[in-house]
Structure 1
Amino acid sequence: MKVQGNPQLRVHIRWMIRRDMPEVLEIERRSFEFPWFEEDFVRCLRQRNCIGMVAEQGERVVAFMIYELHKTRLHILNFAVAPDVRRHGVGRQMVEKLISKLSSQRRTRISLEVRETNLEAQLFFKQSNFRATSVLRDFYDDSTEDAYLMQYYFEEAEVGQAATNRVRRLAG
């Protein structure tokens, strides 16, 4: 399978562990003008409702995602793919993993804030069926930049169709 003309890169997605921190920090530093520091990651991950995931290719961490669990939603706090493996489906696989955690009974949406200048992220999330639902004025502490609140809403029909297709494959 190809993603935007590039070959699909298969990754293993797992929980983030302490040993991943040097690679995560390097991806963070190479991805953002205002990167998180190690203390920011540690403080966040110590909270009970905060989860870290990484995508591995072989022995190398090539992406990470930090998100919070809330009663009715998941909130992405930080998400980055190593620059040299972008546009190879790694981010899409991570988002799909997160979407698979939604259900009509519990958490029904995923939300995140994206800097107004981060067009690459806006387009990526739009392609993943997220929609900008509002503008958050002067959102960031490190600049006067606005953010777009982007949200993905769980749709029962998508899950129902996937389950129907799975049953057909098993029965066929």
Structure 2
Amino acid sequence: MMNEERTRLRVHIRWMIRRDMEEVLQIERGSFEFPWFEEDFVRCLRQRNCIGMVAECGEKIVGFMIYELHKTRLHILNFAVGREARRKGVGDQMVRKLIGKLSSQRRTRISLEVRETNLDAQLFFRSTGFMATSVLREFYDDSPEDAYLMQYECAAEQEAAHVHRLAG
């Protein structure tokens, strides 16, 4: 089992297309207590600033991410990896792809909200360089649960903030 968990799946990351929806919905339902419905995905992806991507292993979709483009940041709205592909580097490859879209001139950070009860997601995002920056009280419509706002900052931005703190 340990060797299986250490095995890194090589995935191809591409834009999400309509044909992917059935597999994406299966991953979504297998991942969350309060999953998005197909209409939620469609409504979101119809917005000009909303992008979907999938991670494919062979012909099978093993993960997906929906994010929004904002002027100075990217905002992850939904992110999941199928149960059979978890802890095999799929999520890490997807986050690295998104981090690669940051630049010190334009979009310098990535943000997302994580349920307070979703410890696996908190630990995963922390392991990829995100930090919890605030608590959002009763953030969700479907429960009174709080969320953690987690953010990743471009290396140049982190360095500038560090220098600023030292100078101040």
TM-score by length of 1: 0.88
Structure 1: unaligned runs, 5 residues or longer:
159-172
Contact 1:3 1:89 in 2 (8 A): no
Contact 1:131 1:152 in 2 (8 A): yes
Contact 1:73 1:110 in 2 (8 A): yes
Partner of 2:85: 85
What is the RMSD of the two structures over their aligned residues, measured on CA atoms?
Answer: 1.7
- 1:77-121: CA deviation from partner (whole Å, max 9, x where unpaired): 000000111000000000000000000000000000000000000
Moved over 4 A (4+): 2-5
Answering whether residue 19 of structure 2 is matched by residue 19 of structure 1, we say yes
Distance (whole Å) between structure 2 residues aligned to residue 122 and residue 4 of structure 1 = 23
1:29-48 to structure 2, matched below 5 A, reads 29-48=29-48
Amino acid at match of 2:29: R
Answering whether residue 130 of structure 2 is matched by residue 135 of structure 1, we say no
Contact 2:104 2:157 in 1 (8 A): no
Partner of 1:74: 74
Partner of 1:151: 151
Q: Percent identity?
A: 77
Q: Tell me: CA distance 1:133–1:3, structure 2 relative to 1, closer, same or farther (3 Å).
A: farther
Partner of 2:64: 64
Distance (whole Å) between structure 1 residues aligned to residue 136 and residue 4 of structure 2 = 31
Q: Tell me: CA distance 1:37–1:3, structure 2 relative to 1, closer, same or farther (3 Å).
A: farther
Partner of 1:168: none
Structure 2: unaligned runs, 5 residues or longer:
159-168
Q: Tell me: CA distance 1:70–1:3, structure 2 relative to 1, closer, same or farther (3 Å).
A: farther
Residue 6 of structure 1 deviates from its aligned partner by 1.3
Residue 156 of structure 1 deviates from its aligned partner by 2.6
Amino acid at match of 1:151: Q
Q: Tell me: CA distance 1:154–1:83, structure 2 relative to 1, closer, same or farther (3 Å).
A: same
